[in-house]
Structure 1
Amino acid sequence: MDMQLKGKRALVTGSSSGIGAEIARMLAAEGVKVVVHGREPGRTQAVATEIETAGGQAAMALGDLTTDEGATAVIDAAQRAFGGIDILVNNVGGSASVAHPTWFEAPLEEWAENYRHNTLAAVRLIQAFVPGMRERRWGRVIQISSRNAISPHAQFGAYGAAKAALNNLTLSLSKALAGTGVTSNGVMPGLIYTPQLDSWFVEVAQKHAGTSDPKAGQAHVLKNIVHQTVDRLGQPKDIAAAVCYLASPLSDFMTGTTFRIDGGATPTV
């Protein structure tokens, strides 16, 4: 299927690895000019080089989106790269929480840091790029949320609350953009495999299966922790494919919606 994306310009935050990198690669394969963002130059350049080697167009934007200075650097680099941004994918985020014995022991600063990292970083970029999209009468804003936004874990309450705010933002923004040709949607991933999970899988395997094989840890997690109805781990490409659709002109009739892509792990209607 032709996603009708050739020539569009995208910024994918947090795209130097993991889900973000796969989103950048898949958008580039559809003909999108992609700005790859990260904080570490080597990893960011590696993704941009991979895209260019495959025949795509890519540029780099470096900076910490939780700071004014870092966000300004990213915004300026992204604007210069291709003369503007048509598609903004707010993927940067993640948990700034650690597991606590009880919900009540998480300090207030942990709640604030999760909000800065997952929600305010998105707001900074929306305020920077969406006015241009509105003037051009076309654009896409896509937030990468989490199933924790609607089915949070007690020990990571701050992270789930920050992602819930991102879902709320996605809907309110869609209403603010009514009739402009710019849509606002999101994706809530479940457990998605990246190499960073291997150390956890090894710990789980050692504790529950008497082995250090990460595959044994994966099997235990699927059966006893995430309770999916799909019997495999999610992959970054599962999220990237949804993002490509939301970025496409084919999704013109969809706004204010957040997809849940979690292998059936969230028991809700």
Structure 2
Amino acid sequence: MDFQLTGKRALVTGSSSGLGEATAKLLAAEGAEVVIHGRDEARAAAVAKTIREAGGAATLAIGGLDTDAGADGVATAALSDGPVDILVNNVGVFDMSMDWTTTTPDHWADIYNVNVISSVRLIQRLVPTMRERRWGRVIQIGSVTGHLSSARQPHYNATNAARDNLAQSLARELRESGVTSNSVAPGGLLTDVNKEMLIGFGKANNMGETWEEIEPNVTRALAPNDVGRIARLDEVAAAVAYLASPVAGYITGVTLHIDGGWYAQ
């Protein structure tokens, strides 16, 4: 399918690794000029280099989004080569070790600042020009935990619910403007770091010795879903690319769950 992204510019936050990197690479392969964002310039530059070597177009925007000054710098860099048509708010943090007994009010404030307010900062800086041009796409990356919460990571789960709500509220604000706002909520994601952790967990709990043996068992234990495996990065990136494209112009204010039919925690 042609996502019709040639000539569009996309800022993907947190795109120096993981899902952000996969999303930026796919958008670039579909013809968009992408702005690679991260705190580590060397890592972000390596992603941009890979995209250019594959025939795509990529620039850099380096800096944190946890302060207004940081967001100013990132927005300025992103806009230096032209307007941003697509904003993918992918930056987020989590800590699977945290629970109700270990999270403090400061933990709640810190994660809300990174996972929610950082998105608001870029929305306020980039969306007004989208509205003026009467075309744009804003996509929040959250998690299925915003809908199916658990006792662990209550502060993280709450930020994902907030991200979904933010996307819907923004859609109402942008009604009839040509700019859409949606959220993507993945389940488990098979990053290199997660795969290593899951293999260790599986071996420690007698779930097998190889990834092929361990994956279905660890999925049932930690992320039970109807497909029976962990999501691949390119599967979630494809959903983001679709929502970012002109062909998804009649979709706004929704949360798209890419979770294999996750049915329990």
- With normalisation by structure 1, the TM-score equals 0.93
Distance in 1, matches of 2:46 and 2:164, equals: 31
Matches within 5 A, 1:173-252: 173-209=170-206, 213=210, 216-252=213-249
Structure 2 unpaired stretches of 5+:
none
Following superposition, the deviation at residue 178 of structure 1 comes to 0.6
Contact 1:39 1:64 in 2 (8 A): yes
1:37-89 CA-to-partner distances (Å, cap 9, x unmatched) read 01111110111001100101000111111122322211111010x21100000
Q: Is residue 112 of structure 2 the alignment partner of residue 118 of structure 1?
A: no
1:18-41 CA-to-partner distances (Å, cap 9, x unmatched) read 100010000001110000001111
- Match in the other structure for 1:166: 163
Amino acid at match of 1:60: L
Amino acid at match of 1:263: G
Following superposition, the deviation at residue 266 of structure 1 comes to 3.3
Contact 1:4 1:249 in 2 (8 A): yes
Query: Please, which moves more after superposition, 61-70 or 254-263?
Result: 61-70
Following superposition, the deviation at residue 96 of structure 1 comes to 4.9
- Match in the other structure for 2:34: 34
Distance in 2, matches of 1:97 and 1:70, equals: 27
Q: Name the SS for the 1:16 alignment partner.
A: coil
Distance in 2, matches of 1:6 and 1:231, equals: 36
Following superposition, the deviation at residue 215 of structure 1 comes to 5.1
1:195-235 CA-to-partner distances (Å, cap 9, x unmatched) read 11134213312321177655554333112221111132211
Distance in 2, matches of 1:193 and 1:152, equals: 20
Distance in 2, matches of 1:245 and 1:227, equals: 26
Contact 2:141 2:183 in 1 (8 A): yes
- With normalisation by structure 2, the TM-score equals 0.95
Q: Name the SS for the 2:152 alignment partner.
A: helix
Following superposition, the deviation at residue 114 of structure 1 comes to 1.3
Distance in 1, matches of 2:2 and 2:201, equals: 42
Distance in 1, matches of 2:65 and 2:174, equals: 24
Q: Is residue 56 of structure 2 the alignment partner of residue 59 of structure 1?
A: no
Contact 1:19 1:240 in 2 (8 A): yes
Distance in 2, matches of 1:159 and 1:180, equals: 32
Distance in 2, matches of 1:164 and 1:197, equals: 23
> Percent identity over the alignment?
45
1:114-151 CA-to-partner distances (Å, cap 9, x unmatched) read 10111001000000000000000000000101001001
- Match in the other structure for 2:84: 85
Q: Name the SS for the 2:153 alignment partner.
A: helix
Distance in 1, matches of 2:54 and 2:6, equals: 15
Query: Please, which moves more after superposition, 185-194 or 219-228?
Result: 219-228
Give the CA RMSD over aligned residues.
Answer: 1.6
Structure 1 unpaired stretches of 5+:
none
Q: Name the SS for the 1:155 alignment partner.
A: coil
Measured at CA, do residues 167 and 252 of structure 1 come closer, stay the same or move farther in structure 2, by a change above 3 Å?
Answer: same
